Amino acid sequence: MLPPAGRGRRRLALPALLSLLTCSLAFALVSEDTKKEVKQSKNLEKGGISRKSDVDLKGIVFVIQSQSNSFHAKRAEQLKQSILKQAANLTQELPRVLLLHQMSKQEGAWTILPLLPHFSVTYSRNSSWIFFCEEETRIQIPELLETLRRYDPSKEWFLGKALHDEESTIIHHYAFSENPTVFKYPDFAAGWALSIPLVNKLTKRLRSESLKSDFTIDLKHEIALYIWDKGDGRPLTSVPEFCTDAVNASCATTFHSFLPLCGHPVKKEDIFFAVKTCKKFHGDRIPIVKQTWAGQASLIEYYSDHAESSIPTVDLGIPNTDRGHCGKTFAILERFLNHSHDKIAWLVIVDDDTLIRMVFSREAIRRLLASKCRCYSNDAPDDMVLGMCFSGLGIPVTHSPLFHQARPVDYPRDYLSHQIPISFHKHWNIDPVKVYFTWLAPGEEDKARQETQKGFKEEL
């Protein structure tokens, strides 16, 4: 997949990473609107859409999909205050605005579905809609009210800006492989909404049958699948006023894309890159790493099951495994903490077919290794073990969608169109060098953008 024309998609992968680390891995970015659906959506008078539904702000519960990291929490609070200020200017009763990270006592709250019973019990009597948005979603309250008034709140509605897969993808378990474009799921960046009758219906289902999966790969797709319920539930209704770009004056939402302004970016010398590899990939994968992003790294080592001086690689003494790589990952963590310079603040662990992956602060590694949490086997899934360990230590994972677990072709064009991506994963059926220079390599427009941002003061 090539980036959308005219968007200047060549990006500085490492400079973008440096900016993120300055904010302890900040923010979320996504997607774009489809003009052709405007007329279609506005003409949906059938099926319960009404232009005269009596919806006011007290009937909307806003849920900001926030994170506990201080940068993210601040951004979410700023959005909350913007919503309340707009409501006050309209001289309407103030709506309820919830921050998701403050509801974390509910296990799995970030995955939304476990919270629906709470929303049903607490808000179903006096509310019509639950409206979800991200920290950087910008909401025009008058336009949002006008948009929601077109939909009869006594009916079941699942509203959002529609994304779809352009080809079947592993991150969605190859769902709808015969025609991936038929299934629509919401772009969280544009905001999405559930009517209270649908929340109540989903709550009954959640109470009668537990969720089947105990892990989440792509939340927006999995929520849409659950609501669709193999065709027995509600499909997503595409709402053209839920936007990411301000493509027309009727947009009720847009998305604010930017690299966080938290001071000067972290210096390259403060980041240590550890590349995980094995002997059988020394010849084909390591040259690609060196041909692409490795040149921008100040400190980098290659860790393998075989020492090869021409690269060079470090033999960690851990046999290669075909499944998880927990043993190798923990060996890297221990080597970083005990053998690298004490002043190196950050460790980035990268697979040899990744164009950057997991990021750890030195203090997080120190606390992890001081605990008794370890791999139960060398081939255990390192990401899941690390997640469980850090959770037990009370160290939350800060999510950034700029780290991608698959190839550009595995994501909708709209989803990538507003991102400044940091990484992609897997070389299967693509030219990884071309992917790097198309999506991640330094470009003149990025340098100009960075200069412009130096004096930029953002306002909500």
pLDDT of residue 106: 67
pLDDT of residue 324: 86
Spatial separation of the C-alpha atoms in residues 238 and 151, rounded to whole Å:
12
pLDDT of residue 10: 42
pLDDT of residue 318: 94
pLDDT of residue 423: 92
Write the pLDDT tens digit of every residue in 99-133: 999 986 766 788 999 999 999 999 999 999 999 99
Asked if residues 228 and 201 have their Cβ atoms less than 8 Å apart, the reply is: no
Letter string b/e over residues 8-32, b meaning 16 or more CB atoms within 10 A of that residue's CB: ebbbbbbbbbbbbbbbebbbbbbbb
User: Which neighbouring-strand residues pair with 195?
Assistant: 129
pLDDT of residue 27: 34
pLDDT of residue 234: 97
Contacts of residue 460, defined as CB under 8 A and 6 or more positions apart, other chains included, come to 78, 79, 81, 82, 138
C-alpha angle with apex 70: 69 to 71, nearest 5 degrees?
Answer: 95
Spatial separation of the C-alpha atoms in residues 87 and 65, rounded to whole Å:
20
C-alpha angle with apex 234: 233 to 240, nearest 5 degrees?
Answer: 170
Q: How far is CA 75 from the centre of its chain?
A: 16
Helix (H, G, I), strand (E, B) or coil at 218: coil
Cis peptide before 197 (omega within 30 of 0): no
pLDDT of residue 93: 87
Spatial separation of the C-alpha atoms in residues 223 and 255, rounded to whole Å:
21
Question: Could you give the maximum distance between any two Cα atoms of the chain, in Å?
Answer: 73
Q: Which residues of the chain have pLDDT under 50?
A: 4-10, 12, 25-47, 50, 445, 447-460
Q: Global pTM?
A: 0.85
Render 161-182 in DSSP notation, one character per residue.
Answer: -EE--SS--GGGTTTTTT-GGG
Spatial separation of the C-alpha atoms in residues 217 and 362, rounded to whole Å:
27
The CA-atom distances, in angstroms, between 202 and each of 116, 135, 212, 227 are: 7, 25, 14, 7
pLDDT of residue 39: 44
Spatial separation of the C-alpha atoms in residues 189 and 162, rounded to whole Å:
11
pLDDT of residue 31: 34
pLDDT of residue 260: 67
C-alpha angle with apex 278: 273 to 284, nearest 5 degrees?
Answer: 90
Of all helices (H) and strands (E), which one includes residue 226? helix 219-228
